[in-house]
Amino acid sequence: MKHLRIAFGLVVMAGLMAVAAAPAMAANARWEQCKKVETAKTGNWKNALCSEAQKEGEWLTMEVTETEEVTSSGKVILTDLNAEGAGKASTVECAGTDRGWIGKAGGDGETEVTATTCTRVEGLCGNGTVKARAVNLPWFTQLEIREGKIRDKLTSANAEGPGYVVECTVLGFIEVVDKCAGALTTGMSNSADGNVQSEFDAISATEKGKCEKGGAESGRVQGSIHLQQRKEVATYVNIR
């Protein structure tokens, strides 16, 4: 059995000047696995969560060196702040699931994002049935440290960045209402069950995307995604 977590680390950064007295130390973030040791009493943790320290323990944290698949679920609020003119927003709230991966050097990504249910909060769509779908997949994400805290930076293979399209179905016809996209970051934190919470927080709210209707810096994402245990391999993700 193995579990996964995120950890801070230090890497040596070479000085720009040859006369530098000592190399600078910079923090980075990386994924780690919590594994049961093969040799008795060579670990430093008491439990499978690697959350309770113990000398000569049975569990040890090791940096992830191979790609590990993870799944997640959550609820997000998608807003175009100017969809119907300056200051007139359109908002939908969607629950859904993601499938992706984590890897070495703090790299991770999302290959599949599915909005299972969406509801209109305000603005466009009226009484129509609302749906949303992700665009510009796969999304590439990278752990980074900002002001001493771990964040996950989301980008995509093209210049638009991660995004979504909101659709309305009226009288059986699908009408593409709006599309928003743009790079952004999420806050990463431990949850009570030992998994990881990825949150579109106050910092994320300042990283507005471009929308077809509202224009530049009109798109906003709120909400949170919960990374979950993959029961088939008893794997989940944790942050330290």
CB 5 within 8 A of CB 30: no
Alpha carbons 110 and 108: distance in angstroms, whole number: 7
The closest alpha carbon to 118, from 86, 87, 84, 164, belongs to: 164
Angle, CA of 70, 36 and 49, to the nearest 5°: 55
Sign of CA dihedral 192, 194, 196, 202: positive
154-213 per-position pLDDT tens digit: 999 888 999 999 998 877 777 878 999 999 999 988 776 667 789 999 999 999 999 999
32-57 per-position pLDDT tens digit: 777 888 887 788 888 877 778 888 88
pTM: 0.80
Range with the largest mean pLDDT of 78-87, 126-135, 213-222 = 213-222
Map out the domains of the chain as residue ranges.
2-63, 68-229
101-128 per-position pLDDT tens digit: 888 877 888 899 999 999 999 998 887 7
SS3 labels along the chain = CEEEEEEEEEEEECCCCCCCCCCEEEEEEEEEEEEECCCCCCEEECCCCCCCEEEEECEEEEECCCCEEEEEEEEEEEEECCECECCCCEEEEEEEEEEEEECHHHEEEEEEEEEEEEEEEECCCCCCEEEEEEECCCEEEEEEEECCEEEEEEEECCCCCCEEEEEEEECCEEEEEEEEECCEEEEEEECCCCCEEEEECHHHHCCCEEECCCEEEEEEEEEEEEEECECCCCECEEEC
Pick from 19-28, 75-84, 102-111, 176-185: least confident? 19-28
